[in-house]
Structure 1
């Protein structure tokens, strides 16, 4: 059954994570950490005035599942709206924890992570990148509201 979550596509994604590194001047940075497995994902985000991600970088110190979800985030995040990213995080959470459907549209390839729903102990590491991105978006929203 573990073969289902550590399949060839997951391992390919984990080995090819785009947008690695840090941004020099992000609008916000956020880190998400899984206490269970020790995985950590840190993201830097620049949000344009149009509410879409203009730039993104990430440091990923995670298991193959955290790496695979970060890989997919790195492929799709630039150009995505804050609202879209919040929705993707909630869809992923529901997919894993409530047997909900996989994301669709531009994010449909996240369906590769669907088998993780059977392994509750792996949910946190799979959701790290989504949680970090939403944390960064929340920071940016708070800064802009205060200005």
Structure 2
């Protein structure tokens, strides 16, 4: 990878998102938590959720990833509150398609993921970029199982 490619990949906008990830850390009243790890680079993301009426009412994330994975977690964190599992799954699928199939930028509130378009050319980074989304979805699924068991 050339220096110019690296500079484009780690643009100021990506670094700004990575430096200001919303909802960092655990939440004490989480109903579901899930950790995902990328075997390619060792990045990890743990997501914690609390649901109310099928929507995210509490969210925390522990992000140990490259700047691209952190930027993706930042965009997720900006739009996650009040979202349903279906909305997050749609955003994750649109992000995957944007990266792997040159698909369009995800719909709002995930349209900030546009900053990651240059990462299309680096498939070895895709897993890290998708980690926060997969962790959030698994945490929601865990919260749903716990909620069902308590009924």
TM-score interval for Structure 1 and Structure 2 normalised by the shorter chain: over 0.9
Does 1:82 find its partner at 2:76?
Answer: no
Q: CA deviation at 1:145?
A: 4.3
Decide which of 30, 33, 47 is 1:29's aligned counterpart.
33
Partners of 2:124 and 2:92 in 1: how far apart? 18
Unaligned runs of 5+ in 1: none
Q: Which residue of 2 aligns with 1:72?
A: 75
Q: Which residue of 2 aligns with 1:2?
A: 6
Decide which of 132, 136, 141 is 2:139's aligned counterpart.
136
> Any idea what the Cα deviations from partners look like across 1:86-141, whole Å, max 9, x if unmatched?
11111111111111111022211111111111100000111110010111122223
Decide which of 111, 114, 130 is 1:111's aligned counterpart.
114
Q: Which residue of 1 aligns with 2:52?
A: 48
Partners of 2:93 and 2:124 in 1: how far apart? 18
Q: Which runs of 4+ in 1 moved over 2 A?
A: 140-147
Decide which of 82, 90, 94 is 1:91's aligned counterpart.
94
Partners of 2:32 and 2:120 in 1: how far apart? 30
- Is contact 2:32-2:146 (8 Å) kept? no
- TM-score normalised by length of structure 1: 0.93
Q: CA deviation at 1:45?
A: 0.4
In the alignment of these two chains, the number of paired residues is 146
> Any idea what the Cα deviations from partners look like across 1:59-104, whole Å, max 9, x if unmatched?
1111111111111111110111111011111111111111111102
Please provide the CA RMSD for this pair: 1.3
